[in-house]
Amino acid sequence: MSSSRPVRLLVIQLTRLGDTLQSLMALRAAKQLYPRLEIHFVARERFAAAAKRVPWLEGVVALPTEKILLPVLQSRKNGESRTVQEAARWLGPLVKHPWDLVVNWSYSESSSFLTGIVPGRVKLGYSRTVEQNRDGARQTKLTCPDGWSHYVQAVVQGGVHQNIHLTDVLTTQLLTALQIHFGEPADNGDAPVTSKSFFSLKPHTMADHDLGPRWRDRTKKWIAIQLGAGQAEKTWDPENWAELAREILCGHSEYGVILLGGKEDQERADAFRGRLPGLGYDPSAVVSVVGQSDFDLWASVVSRCQWLFSCDTAAVHLASVLGTRVLNVSVGPVRWTETGPYGNGHFVVASNTPCPACQDRDSGLVHACSKAVTPAAVYGAWSFAAHDAMFRNQTTLEHHFARLGVRSELDRVRIFRSRIRGATDGGGVVYDPLTSHPMQLSDWTAMVMGHIARAWYCGWVPPVGQELSRPRISPELVKKLRELDEASQVLSKVCEEATRTASTLNKRGSRLRSDKIMKIHDRDEIKGLGKQLQDLDSLIERLGEAQAPLHAFSQMARVLMHNLRGAQIAELGREGAACYQQLGEGVGILREWIKFTLNLAKPVAIKIEPLALVERL
């Protein structure tokens, strides 16, 4: 960094523990590259324990939600002003001195107000300003000042498929801002981010909680099973976990199993234990810390284990941070490419069958995706993963499943292995498919969106189609891409036209002496250009509705337009033109991918050597 002065960074993370852990991983990377960062972290009281155990954080501020809201809960009539006082009292220390950088990684309403209040030279993530509306009244407006935040709002929160992991989004967003505003990093950033000593845990945590003689057995390798999940639809039946555990414990005597979960998971733990006798296994052989919510104990256990088995829970991120391998059973409406285990060698098992309950979460239907993933399939994936190094280049997952006699399970599940890509390949975590199912349009879209985001915000991208392979391209995908080709061509032309129109608006606006008093001819012309842009916007919207992969562009157009900052017609025209140009560049990349994929899918002529018999003749 150019100056030796510390850079004061305030990170606002008011979402759940999983997001807190992902944020800490991103911050560790930033701290290694910028040692002079003085990081202060705001977290919800319930989830602040993890941050408080990170030695390189300068300060952790817990948001006491209950205390702040108590007055208004006691008295709706007079409580609001006392609640505001309470909030102001809590905020006092945070607003004493301006921050060099304020990063809001919560992407929520309350956090946007908080970010708007806290003084900072540079702000990232959702924030708020107070502006005058058309009626002259002052009102707060959500703002989203930086590119990666646009991407999160339009694409990630907009429900568009994309394959950049959230930890990578946060890391890249922060490092880019640091580089722009505070100079080049101290080193090249090769140091590992995850480690067993990520947290400074209370000493004697294990001794305080006597987990029995089995756990003290140092010869055992341990598998932790996190039983629950944040939402019921994202959980796997405890009976399934029990069958999987029995399979491992009976076949691999070197392993032990420990159950993890909060107080709310007690019923699941009982169901797990209740299933074991029927499977011919003694439940007392399984250690449990279910119901013990102490962060230090939880982190100590996960840190000691070789494996963590879990659905979409914070435990996945805890294990990632601690370098414990993860087997992620991904069921329910989960986007594991964004929130799956981070690092090398983790495995994800997900359903390969379409799940109507995931598509319509209010339908009340049973999750077919959860039923498709069986204990046999998960055992197959784990036993392959546990011997991964030995198997690598010697056997395939399919052969392994065939040897176990469960080859047919692979028809219903997809299995992936995580890998950290080299910087020259685009960086970040990627999940390589180990099963040979054809690629779905959503997978293809996710790859393309990841590529477009890198082009928009990193300025450099790996070659188009780098991770595409011909066998994964099905005739169905080809058909859909041909339809998309036509629609994307139209969208490309619309973006070009909108860029031209907005540039014209900029030129006309620049010639005006005032935006309010102008010649009738000028007014009509500007009105006409405005109407033209409105029509083009609605065309972008319709194209986004007609073709799922184009939805990202209509969402992005709305976010970009919402965040235009110009006050004059000329400024708005200039900013608008830049936005449409950005969209057009993205559509251009999408079209390159379509072309590349369709070419890759074309039949290839096979050169046949003449027969030896003919040669002899």
Partner 1 sequence: MDDDSKFDGGSMAADMTRLQGEVVGTIEQQESDLEALLLGFVRALLAENGLCPDPIAEIPPRDKESV
Residue numbers at the binding site for partner 1 (CB under 8 A): 65, 68-69, 72-73, 80-81, 83-85, 87-89, 91-92, 95-98, 102, 107-110, 112-114, 116-117, 119-124, 127-130, 138-140, 142-143, 145-146, 156-159, 177, 180-181, 558-559, 562
Where on the phi/psi map is residue 12: left (φ > 0), alpha (ψ -120 to 50), or beta?
A: beta
Q: How many C-beta atoms surround the C-beta of residue 393 within 10 A? A: 5
Pick between residue 87 and residue 327 the one whose CB is nearest to partner 1. Answer: 87
Pick between residue 138 and residue 218 the one whose CB is nearest to partner 1. Answer: 138
Q: In whole angstroms, how close is the CB of 99 to partner 1 at the nearest point?
A: 9
DSSP calls for 159-195? T------HHHHHHHHHHHHHHHHH-S-SS---S-S--
Measured between alpha carbons, how far is 418 from 521 in angstroms, rounded to an integer? 61
Pick between residue 154 and residue 385 the one whose CB is nearest to partner 1. Answer: 154
Q: In whole angstroms, how close is the CB of 163 to partner 1 at the nearest point?
A: 16
Q: In whole angstroms, how close is the CB of 114 to partner 1 at the nearest point?
A: 6
Q: In whole angstroms, how close is the CB of 507 to partner 1 at the nearest point?
A: 26
| Cα 564 to Cα 124, 128, 349, 560, 614, distances in angstroms | 16, 14, 42, 6, 73
Sign of CA dihedral 43, 44, 49, 50: negative
Pick between residue 92 and residue 475 the one whose CB is nearest to partner 1. Answer: 92
DSSP 6: P
Query: One-letter amino acid identity for 333?
Result: P
Pick between residue 93 and residue 212 the one whose CB is nearest to partner 1. Answer: 93
Q: In whole angstroms, how close is the CB of 331 to partner 1 at the nearest point?
A: 18
Q: 133 — phi, psi (to 5°)? A: -90, -175
**For strand 287-288 and strand 255-260, is the pairing parallel, antiparallel, or unpaired?**
parallel
Pick between residue 22 and residue 32 the one whose CB is nearest to partner 1. Answer: 22
| Joined tokens for residue 308 | 């963590």
Q: In whole angstroms, how close is the CB of 67 to partner 1 at the nearest point?
A: 11
Measured between alpha carbons, how far is 133 from 137 in angstroms, rounded to an integer? 6
Pick between residue 102 and residue 529 the one whose CB is nearest to partner 1. Answer: 102
Q: What length is written for the chain?
A: 617
Pick between residue 127 and residue 310 the one whose CB is nearest to partner 1. Answer: 127
Q: In what helix (H) or strand (E) does residue 3 lie, and over which residues does it extend?
A: none
| Joined tokens for residue 297 | 């104990």
Question: Which residues, in sequence order, are CB contacts of 474 under 8 Å at separation 6+?
Answer: 438, 439
Pick between residue 92 and residue 213 the one whose CB is nearest to partner 1. Answer: 92
| Joined tokens for residue 202 | 């209370």
Measured between alpha carbons, how far is 305 from 319 in angstroms, rounded to an integer? 9
Q: In whole angstroms, how close is the CB of 80 to partner 1 at the nearest point?
A: 6
Pick between residue 286 and residue 557 the one whose CB is nearest to partner 1. Answer: 557
Q: 431 — phi, psi (to 5°)? A: -110, 110
Q: 104 — phi, psi (to 5°)? A: -100, 110
CA-based nearest residue to 125, from 160, 98, 96, 157? 157
Q: 414 — phi, psi (to 5°)? A: -120, 140
Q: In whole angstroms, how close is the CB of 13 to partner 1 at the nearest point?
A: 14
Q: In whole angstroms, how close is the CB of 121 to partner 1 at the nearest point?
A: 7
Q: In what helix (H) or strand (E) does residue 61 lie, and over which residues does it extend?
A: strand 59-63
**Strand, helix or coil for residue 75:** coil
Pick between residue 122 and residue 331 the one whose CB is nearest to partner 1. Answer: 122
**Strand, helix or coil for residue 143:** strand
Measured between alpha carbons, how far is 588 from 592 in angstroms, rounded to an integer? 6
Question: Which residues, in sequence order, are CB contacts of 566 under 8 Å at separation 6+?
Answer: 572, 574, 575
| Joined tokens for residue 111 | 């956090």
Q: In whole angstroms, how close is the CB of 162 to partner 1 at the nearest point?
A: 13
| Joined tokens for residue 46 | 């319930």
Question: Which residues, in sequence order, are CB contacts of 43 under 8 Å at separation 6+?
Answer: 13, 14, 20, 50, 51, 60, 61, 62, 63
Measured between alpha carbons, how far is 143 from 155 in angstroms, rounded to an integer? 16
Pick between residue 232 and residue 605 the one whose CB is nearest to partner 1. Answer: 232
Pick between residue 158 and residue 380 the one whose CB is nearest to partner 1. Answer: 158
- Tell me if 317 sits within 8 A of 295, measured CB to CB: no
Half-sphere CA count of 376, side-chain side, radius 13 A = 15
Pick between residue 112 and residue 324 the one whose CB is nearest to partner 1. Answer: 112
Q: In whole angstroms, how close is the CB of 410 to partner 1 at the nearest point?
A: 31
Measured between alpha carbons, how far is 45 from 287 in angstroms, rounded to an integer? 29
Pick between residue 19 and residue 443 the one whose CB is nearest to partner 1. Answer: 19
